């Protein structure tokens, strides 16, 4: 096992341990913010699958997120359904809208894809205001209670932590699967991919729905966290926030969007207490990230990693990230950074490993 892999596993174990210990170490207020950051982290990861891995920049993901949340909210407040029914309706609504959106967007790419997703988000936002009997319009839907087993802030935190960890693991598998490779091919050369036998429109739709499924789960977790849903959840700013979280943390990395979500959610909730113009500060951070750290925070760490190894005289400093790996392969270990993240082996490799 390489040093880089050991460091990654160490960081993962530390993260899990810190996550489990957190309710014993800090206040309910901080736990609330961490729970919100985890929910938005999952939401940003769902955007990263499309934008970071597939080059399909979406700005309408909040539409799916909100439809799932409204599905839960409507069942809870209007149908008096139990929690199983609420979650089932939320999932069904989110997946259904994902399928509809995917069919609308599957034959577009580049700026046209972006515009279609923008329109989709705006449609949901408009309907959230117009369909007052269902959505409660600007008043939203209130009184959406959590299941009794997770009604306490800390039990709900553990539930969210477990679901986000599981979802993150599943998304990691997806990005390492044949579909993940095709997704990266889609980003690099859609025409070439088509010529190799891929129905790229279908693949786009498939990944769109897959990404929508995780946005749906984030929407369900969000509505139970706040016990309230309003049209604000579906507005462009929510999608924009998700995209910015992914960019700030590092697109095409999965862990980057989660880190970006923590930075932004904490900035919103903590920085605003001390700095009146905190949004200006946050804006400046985005501009600096885009200008000087295109790989986001994870990209910066990845680039710094070989230098850290070199500083401590580690022999792997020049190649620990894998032979032929470009800078950036060390820490994130995903998609665009490594030369062979899928671990495709030749028989020679297999013989030498035996």
Partner 1 sequence: MTPTALHLDAVTVRFAALTAVDRVSMTVRRGERWAVIGPNGAGKTTLFRTISGEVLPSSGRITLLDHDVTRKPAYRRAHRGLGRTYQITNLFSELSVVENVAIAALGRTRSRFRSWWPLRMERDVSRRAREALEQVHLAHRHDTPVAELSHGEQRHLEIAVALAADPAVLLLDEPAAGLSSSERMLMRRLITELPRELTVVLIEHDMNLALELVEHVVCMDNGETIATGSPDEIRANERVQAVYLKSD
Closest CB to partner 1 among 207 and 261?
A: 207
Shortest distance, CB of residue 343 to partner 1, whole angstroms?
A: 4
Q: How far apart are the first and last CA of the chain?
A: 15
For residues 225 and 160, the answer to whether their CB atoms sit within 8 Å is yes
Closest CB to partner 1 among 203 and 241?
A: 203
Q: State the residues that interact with partner 1 by CB under 8 A.
A: 170, 173-174, 176-182, 184-185, 187-189, 191-200, 203, 206, 210, 322-326, 336, 339-340, 342-348
Shortest distance, CB of residue 199 to partner 1, whole angstroms?
A: 5
Shortest distance, CB of residue 42 to partner 1, whole angstroms?
A: 17
Closest CB to partner 1 among 6 and 192?
A: 192
Shortest distance, CB of residue 196 to partner 1, whole angstroms?
A: 4
For residues 45 and 175, the answer to whether their CB atoms sit within 8 Å is no
The DSSP secondary-structure symbol of 196 reads T
Angle between helix axes 61-77 and 200-226 (nearest 10 degrees) is 50
- 141 sits in which H/E element: strand 141-142
Closest CB to partner 1 among 14 and 177?
A: 177
Helices (H), 176-269: 178-188, 190-195, 200-226, 236-249, 255-266
* Three-class SS state of 228: strand
User: What b-and-e string marks burial along 26-47, b requiring 16 or more CB atoms within 10 Å of the CB?
Assistant: eeeeebbbbbbbbbbbbbbbbb
Shortest distance, CB of residue 246 to partner 1, whole angstroms?
A: 17
Shortest distance, CB of residue 311 to partner 1, whole angstroms?
A: 25
For residues 219 and 89, the answer to whether their CB atoms sit within 8 Å is no
Closest CB to partner 1 among 76 and 209?
A: 209
Shortest distance, CB of residue 273 to partner 1, whole angstroms?
A: 41
Closest CB to partner 1 among 54 and 140?
A: 54
Closest CB to partner 1 among 77 and 175?
A: 175
For residues 111 and 101, the answer to whether their CB atoms sit within 8 Å is no
Q: Token pair for residue 168?
A: 């993150």
For residues 90 and 220, the answer to whether their CB atoms sit within 8 Å is yes
């Amino acid at each position: 096992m390489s040093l880089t892999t050991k460091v990654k596993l160490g960081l993962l174990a530390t993260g899990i341990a810190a996550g489990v210990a957190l309710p014993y170490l800090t206040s309910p207020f901080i736990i609330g913010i961490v729970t919100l950051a985890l929910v938005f982290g999952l939401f940003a990861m769902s955007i990263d699958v499309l934008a970071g891995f597939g080059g399909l920049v979406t700005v309408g993901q909040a539409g799916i997120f909100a439809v799932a949340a409204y599905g839960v909210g409507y069942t809870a407040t209007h149908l008096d359904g139990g929690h199983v029914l609420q979650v089932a309706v939320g999932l069904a609504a989110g997946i259904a809208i994902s399928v509809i959106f995917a069919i609308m967007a599957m034959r577009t790419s580049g700026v046209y894809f972006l515009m279609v997703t923008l329109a989709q988000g705006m449609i949901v936002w408009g309907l959230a205001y117009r369909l007052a009997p269902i959505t409660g319009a600007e008043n939203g839907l209130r009184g959406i209670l959590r299941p009794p087993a997770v009604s306490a802030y800390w039990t709900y935190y553990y539930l969210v932590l477990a679901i986000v960890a599981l979802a993150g693991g599943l998304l990691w598998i997806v990005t390492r699967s044949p579909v993940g490779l095709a997704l990266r091919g889609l980003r690099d050369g859609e025409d070439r991919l088509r010529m190799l036998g891929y129905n790229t429109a279908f693949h786009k739709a498939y990944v769109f729905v897959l990404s929508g499924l995780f946005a749906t789960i984030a929407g369900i977790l969000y509505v139970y966290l706040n016990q309230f849903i309003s049209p604000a959840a579906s507005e462009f700013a929510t999608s924009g926030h998700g995209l910015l979280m992914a960019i700030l943390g590092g697109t095409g990395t999965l862990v980057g969007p989660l880190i970006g979500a923590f930075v932004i959610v904490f900035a919103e909730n903590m920085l605003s207490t001390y700095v009146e113009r905190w949004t200006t500060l946050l804006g400046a951070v985005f501009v600096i990230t885009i200008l000087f750290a295109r790989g986001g925070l994870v990209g910066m760490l990845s680039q710094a990693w070989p230098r850290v190894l070199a500083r401590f005289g580690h022999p792997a400093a020049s190649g620990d990230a894998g032979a032929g790996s470009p800078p950036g392969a060390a820490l994130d270990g995903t998609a665009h950074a490594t030369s062979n993240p899928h671990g495709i082996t030749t028989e020679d490799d297999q013989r030498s490993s035996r």
